[in-house]
Amino acid sequence: MAERAPQAAVPIVRVAAVDKWYGHYHALRGIDLTVMPGECVVLWGPSGSGKTTLLRAIAGLERVQSGALEIAGVPRAVGPLVRPAPSPGVGMVFQRSALFLNMRVIDNLTIGLRRARGMERREAEALALRHLAQVRMADLAMRYPAQLSGGQQQRAEIARALCMEPRLLLFDEPTAALDPELKHEVGETIAALAREGRTVMVATHEPMLVRALRARMVLMADGTIAGESTSAAFFEPR
């Protein structure tokens, strides 16, 4: 009996001929991009190149007017009348912390688990502590966001995203608001997640972060994909 050929992996992200407008501004122009499970992809380009818009479209936070967009093989609705809705299985960490200032770190992480998933408090806290330990934050679980450094707040945001067990983690300029020491701290945390085999996409123009990630680089300009590279090739001396 002939052996059955191995089944090809389904892309975590498939974007085909995607266009996005804000009024008359053409923010994404015919974007084609595929991201496979376990890949680490950096969207690289200046401000206004479309990096954040593309991540937000993948996360379901922005509608796109035309093209095709799939998450783990499941098509997302596309068109001018579509209302944005979060993409299942996608977690996103933004440039600035969105932690609830009146809640302890542990409560910031468990509120979504309890409300969206109906977890009991003890189960939710155990999961939150596990992910806080993963980003070296378990000892700060009972602190409030104002008692944390900027880097610690970003690591807490990463842990909160991990609590929802996403298949894809998106990072939008995660180190842009941090000083150099904290940039390194957060960059190493993201790099560790990528080394674990998680599927990660990062929008950035920070060379330090890209070097830490050793990623596939997607180069963006004026709402288009201008080319691809690797972090090693992109930064090697010419």
Give the residue among 159, 168, 153 at the shortest CA–CA distance from 202: 168
Q: Decide if 209 contacts 151 (C-beta within 8 A).
A: no
Per DSSP, the residues of 103-125 read: S-HHHHHHHHHHHHS---HHHHH
pLDDT at 234: 81
pLDDT at 211: 86
pLDDT at 104: 97
**Tens-level pLDDT at each residue, the chain (238 residues):** 455 545 568 999 999 999 999 999 999 999 999 999 999 999 999 999 999 999 999 999 999 999 999 999 999 999 989 999 999 999 999 988 889 999 999 999 999 899 888 889 999 999 999 999 999 999 999 999 999 999 999 999 999 999 999 999 999 999 887 888 888 889 999 999 999 999 999 999 888 888 888 899 999 999 999 999 988 888 776 6
Q: What is the pTM of this model?
A: 0.91
First and final CA of the chain: distance in angstroms? 54
pLDDT at 180: 83
The pair of structure tokens assigned to 93 is: 């960490």
Give the residue among 88, 41, 38 at the shortest CA–CA distance from 60: 88
